Amino acid sequence: MFTHLQLAAVASEKPNQVAVCLAPCTAHRTCVDCLFAPGCRWSTRLRECVSTASQPAYCAGGVCGLVLEENDSAHCPEPCHAFTQCSSCLRHGPCGWCAAPGENGEGICAEGNSERPMKGDCFKVMDENLKLLEGESDEDDELANANSTMHYSWHYVKCPKENECQNGHHSCADEAEICVDLDDGFECKCGEGYKPGTANCVPVCPQ
């Protein structure tokens, strides 16, 4: 980081050039943007960008958790909206699930806490997601109108009930296993012509 005296020296050497001030670390809202900024580091626990100069005092007592440095951008956590299923969404601490009505498993993963999304409520989360769609069309208008009449629910600890066998959110093998929906999740059973093996279902060989 340049000191005020160094900046003054640079300005005096090149009087015809306008000095450009770098944005403070706190202005960077994402991990990747933060780590590409000179003199900035990312707190994985606070999800904040902090300067190397203020880190010792700001992160005293380990409040910042793991702090990523310039060459650690590959380890930046995925943003909540990158997760398209509730089960994967809730595995990440700051994320919760705005579920659409019904048991189809549709919804949006968003940042929040045990009480509500960071945006305030699920309607705002869904509305912002629609605005992010590229371009505008009649279909987008129809989605926006449908969104305004739907009642979404917020889930932070446990996913809402859904039929994973119908919506494809299961991990059963296509040919060897049959998906069976349960009140809580699903289970995979061996299909016709297959039997349980050591790790998965194996073909039944004719005697």
Asked whether the predicted pLDDT for residue 11 surpasses 60, the reply is no
Query: What are residue 41's DSSP bridge partners?
Result: 50
Domain boundaries, the chain: 25-75, 78-133+151-162, 163-206
Give the mean model confidence (pLDDT) for residues 187-201.
Answer: 89
- Domain covering 25-75, topology: ligand-binding face of the semaphorins, domain 2 (3.30.1680)
Residue 67: its pLDDT value, please?
A: 93
Asked whether the predicted pLDDT for residue 142 surpasses 70, the reply is no
Give the mean model confidence (pLDDT) for residues 175-185.
Answer: 88
Percent of the chain having pLDDT more than 90? 31
Residue 10: its pLDDT value, please?
A: 47
More confident residue, 125 or 4: 125
Asked whether the predicted pLDDT for residue 146 surpasses 80, the reply is no
Whole-angstrom Cα distance, residue 108 to residue 85? 8
Encoded tokens for 168: 């494809």
Asked whether the predicted pLDDT for residue 107 surpasses 70, the reply is yes
**Model confidence over 44-93: pLDDT tens digits?**
888 899 999 999 999 999 999 899 998 888 888 888 888 888 988 998 87
Query: What's at 51, amino acid-wise?
Result: S
Whole-angstrom Cα distance, residue 48 to residue 34? 9
Q: Tell me if the pTM is above 0.75.
A: no
Residue 148: its pLDDT value, please?
A: 52
In angstroms, what is the C-alpha Rg of the chain? 25
Query: What are residue 178's DSSP bridge partners?
Result: 189
Encoded tokens for 183: 């009140």
Sequence-distant (6+) residues with CB within 8 A of 100 are: 106, 107, 150, 152
The mean pLDDT value of the chain amounts to 81
